[in-house]
Structure 1
């Protein structure tokens, strides 16, 4: 197993699980972006690393046109099914600007850490109009946070789920054809400043959100992750899913869980 370099299998098979496995972004996120940037329905949005379009579709009504790009063909296929009226393009961020034109806003949601960040920041900056902005959405949508605050139902047994993934895939986090022993890179602020951006202005939304989730939704959330994407299990995929459901049912026989989700952070950078 090699250390990680991007390859097209990173999210192979995961896209179809996003709809059930990821908690939707709240409407308050779009409202906060609109108010912070003074959006009025004009201009264009570029959503980079758009996945199946979860953020793109939410923000698109704030603009005259929206474009979503993603390196995974399965993600783009799901996005086209969800919103055929948006322009979706199978494209690595490193290949921008790709003759896509100029944009009022470039958005990155749970995606920038997978990219050659210095290169992407350098290439996206001149794609923004003078009054434009880059927004980075920091969120955890596949699972909730540890909290001592009461919940209406038991929380999912995430420690047991993670132990099961390690039993099947090994102790080091998997990612595509490689591994991520130290996780993904940090230091985003330094990357942005090196590229000539100023900021950030940070906004927080979604405080105290609680979601009730089913067994099927927890299973889908596991398969929506790069570290446990379906392709990683090979011919043991069905066995893993059966064991995963057994772990969930042992914890909560009726398969109903609740989780409290972290606030969503919006970092606004100006070119």
Structure 2
């Protein structure tokens, strides 16, 4: 049975594949190479990409010559990933239960996925189940601090006077390199390495706004849940704040910090 947080996640992402692909997906794609490196994915590796989204990591793994299976909990993401990663076997599946036999894969990767599961440890135990002895795991999540990518939206909501709803929360853990390392170790992964990946995402402000305006993620539920008048106030505040950060090339710079952890089965 899905818990309250997992049920909320299914509602939050329902039908959001195209809006996500056109907005936040480029930000999340920045870690794909490092993620695959950490999982030692190369030619001939049988890899499972969990929470594939629009298939970004799956496509990158195929480009390395890997044999790729990709799954996602959201049907619209499954359809988009199948189109974006031809050659991958793309299926619908929801953590913490996967439809694969024990030891089915050489490696498993999860790019910004573990934080979208109510019981992260149960999910990581399940990922270990489907990896062969000696196989590898690599996961990314957002760092608990230091990310400015979403702060622009929150500043606009504050300026417009929007009250935030209280959404269900997952089982919590420290969103630090040490916290993520501990989570993997508790799930039985060995030789865990964990660290930070930092970069600056540059984006057109209208493309960035299209994420919440399209209902993507929690911020999208807040923005699209407003009255037309309040929505317009939030957009006006966002436009002003984005204009203050605009570079000469017309893009805004969004500093991002992720956590990347890997381990061995």
Give TM class, smaller chain.
0.7 to 0.9
With structure 2 as the length reference, what TM-score do the two structures score? 0.74
Maintained 8 Å contact 1:103/1:132: yes
Q: In 2, distance between residues paired with 1:162 and 1:100?
A: 46
With structure 1 as the length reference, what TM-score do the two structures score? 0.73
Structural mapping, 1:206-245, within 5 Å: 207-220=198-211, 223=214, 225-229=216-220, 233=224, 241-245=231-235
Structure 1 unmatched runs, 5+: 147-154
Q: Which secondary structure state, in structure 2, belongs to the residue aligned with residue 94 of structure 1?
A: coil
Q: In 2, distance between residues paired with 1:120 and 1:73?
A: 19
Distance 1:164 1:224, change over 3 A: farther
Is 1:102 aligned to 2:93, yes or no?
no
Return 242-251 or 79-88, whichever deviates more: 242-251
Give the root-mean-square deviation of aligned CA atoms: 3.6
CA drift at 1:69: 1.1
**2:18 corresponds to which residue?**
16
- Give the number of the structure with larger relative contact order, counting CA–CA contacts within 8 Å between residues 6 or more apart: 1
Aligned residues between the structures? 248
Q: Which secondary structure state, in structure 2, belongs to the residue aligned with residue 89 of structure 1?
A: strand
**1:201 corresponds to which residue?**
193
Q: Which secondary structure state, in structure 1, belongs to the residue aligned with residue 96 of structure 2?
A: helix
Distance 1:53 1:29, change over 3 A: closer
**2:63 corresponds to which residue?**
61
Q: Which secondary structure state, in structure 1, belongs to the residue aligned with residue 129 of structure 2?
A: helix
Structure 2 unmatched runs, 5+: 174-178
Q: In 2, distance between residues paired with 1:185 and 1:165?
A: 30
CA drift at 1:270: 1.1
Distance 1:216 1:262, change over 3 A: closer
